[in-house]
Amino acid sequence: MKGRWAELRVGVVGAGGMGSRHARNLLGRGAAVVAVADSDPERARSLAEACGGARTYEDGAELVRDPDVEAVVVASPDPTHARYVLACLQAEKPVFCEKPLATTVQDAEEVVRRELACGRRLVQVGFQRRYDPEFRALRRAVEEGLVGRPVLFRAWHRNARAAHGPPGSNEAVIVNSAIHDLDELRWLAGAEVEVVHAVVGRSVDPSLGEGILDLQVMQLGLTGGALALVELNLSAGYGYEVGVEVVGDQGSLSAGLPSGVVARREGRCGVSVPGDWLARFEDAYAAEVASWVDTLRSGGPPWPHAWDGYAALVAARACAHALRTGGAVRLTAENPPPLYAA
Ligand SMILES: NC(=O)c1ccc[n+]([C@@H]2O[C@H](COP(=O)([O-])OP(=O)(O)OC[C@H]3O[C@@H](n4cnc5c(N)ncnc54)[C@H](O)[C@@H]3O)[C@@H](O)[C@H]2O)c1
């Protein structure tokens, strides 16, 4: 297997912003992109050409069945993920799936069930913050006990504006965007979301549609007792920023604060803020894909895994429920199956 994957032959489903970025990063890692699928044939053709002449498909399931495709990247819209991941599991092909793993808890459960039936981990979920150098340094500091026992996680996630136009629903805002923050909390705290105390929102950009709450504030309780506060803002206006402060009983740690070259001119002093996630997480996207390829080559288990995708989605759905009903939601404690240990 090791020799066979000396150059991993990858198929990319979804030739938009993320699919193109992952394809570029794969080429930089010595993998070959041999097939591209997109429901828009022109997009598929354009990315396939940029990858040196890959085959093209309109349906990702056909790409998964292509015998020359050894592993698959799924970067099509959220509601398509589960179907393509399940097709990969059916074919026993490793798959890197952009977040979210699925849009319904039932579909995420089905992915976990089918992977368990395969008896090995085949799914990696695109929670790239886990590969961001700054977030990793912060997690190490938490683990080493630099600020003692964490008691509060205060996270912010701001987009300049809703990237793909109106998100459609408040649930889609949470399942598409806040899922990153929920995974971040699980990973940094080494804990699960135990209770959603409250989720409140307001409309900032009315052009997104009536009732769309593009600013949401979430108050959570984690197993082990820490509290968490998440600001999710699709319409911050000024740029893209993601950060977190971990307050411990002996100090606090922060990541994601403005940094870089400081410019002083015309009576002002400041640093620039990235315009979007592609700029902010450039290194993390490259690192997660590099890790995926290296892991497949070495036969190790991919990470973050399907259970991470499932658990984050369960938390996201609980947040959506809390927003809708205005009440608290307590989650049922679940232990991951042994396949997902470590
Ligand atoms: N990890 C991150 O930070 C991050 C950032 C942005 C987007 N994403 C995720 O990546 C995925 C893609 O987002 P994007 O920004 O690249 O979107 P995009 O709109 O730029 O690209 C999506 C592509 O999928 C194609 N497509 C639509 N339906 C399809 C189908 N049924 N089968 C195959 N292709 C289909 C579209 O034609 C388009 O080319 C989404 O799931 C999104 O949530 C993750």
44 lines ligand 1 (CB under 6 A): no
What single string gives the DSSP state of each residue in 149-188? Answer: SEEEEEEEEE-SS-TTS--SSHHHHIIIIIHHHHHHHHHH
Flag residues of the chain having pLDDT under 70.
Answer: 1-6
- Say if CB 228 and CB 153 are below 8 A apart: yes
Distance 69 CA to ligand 1 centre (A): 20
SS3 helix, strand, coil % of the chain, rounded to 5?
A: 40, 25, 35
126 lines ligand 1 (CB under 6 A): yes
- Say if CB 179 and CB 193 are below 8 A apart: no
Distance 19 CA to ligand 1 centre (A): 7
Name every residue whose Cβ is closer than 8 Å to that of residue 311 and which is 6 or more positions away in sequence.
Answer: 186, 192, 334, 336
Q: In this predicted structure, what is the pLDDT of residue 30?
A: 78
* CATH C-level class of 133-280+311-340: alpha beta
Distance 3 CA to ligand 1 centre (A): 32
Distance 227 CA to ligand 1 centre (A): 33
What pTM was computed for the model? 0.97
Domain segments of the chain: what residues? 4-129+283-305, 133-280+311-340
Give the span between the Cα atoms of 230 and 86, in whole angstroms. 31
- Which CATH number, 3.40.50.720, 2.40.10.10, 2.40.160.10, 2.70.70.10, labels domain 4-129+283-305? 3.40.50.720
pLDDT in tens, 266-305: 999 999 999 999 999 999 999 999 999 999 999 999 999 9
70 lines ligand 1 (CB under 6 A): no
**Cα dist from 177 to 25, 76, 78, 306, whole Å:** 23, 15, 11, 18
3-state secondary structure of 36: strand
3-state secondary structure of 28: helix
302 lines ligand 1 (CB under 6 A): no
Ligand 1, residue 43: give the atom nearest the CA. 39
- DSSP class of residue 339 equals G
pLDDT in tens, 257-266: 999 999 999 9
- Say if CB 301 and CB 294 are below 8 A apart: no
Residue owning the nearest CA to atom 20 of ligand 1 = 16
13 lines ligand 1 (CB under 6 A): yes
Distance 285 CA to ligand 1 centre (A): 15
Residue owning the nearest CA to atom 11 of ligand 1 = 75
- Say if CB 72 and CB 95 are below 8 A apart: yes
301 lines ligand 1 (CB under 6 A): no
Residue owning the nearest CA to atom 38 of ligand 1 = 16
- Ligand 1 pocket test: pick from 13, 21, 39 the residue with the most ligand atoms within 8 Å of its Cβ: 39
Distance 128 CA to ligand 1 centre (A): 15
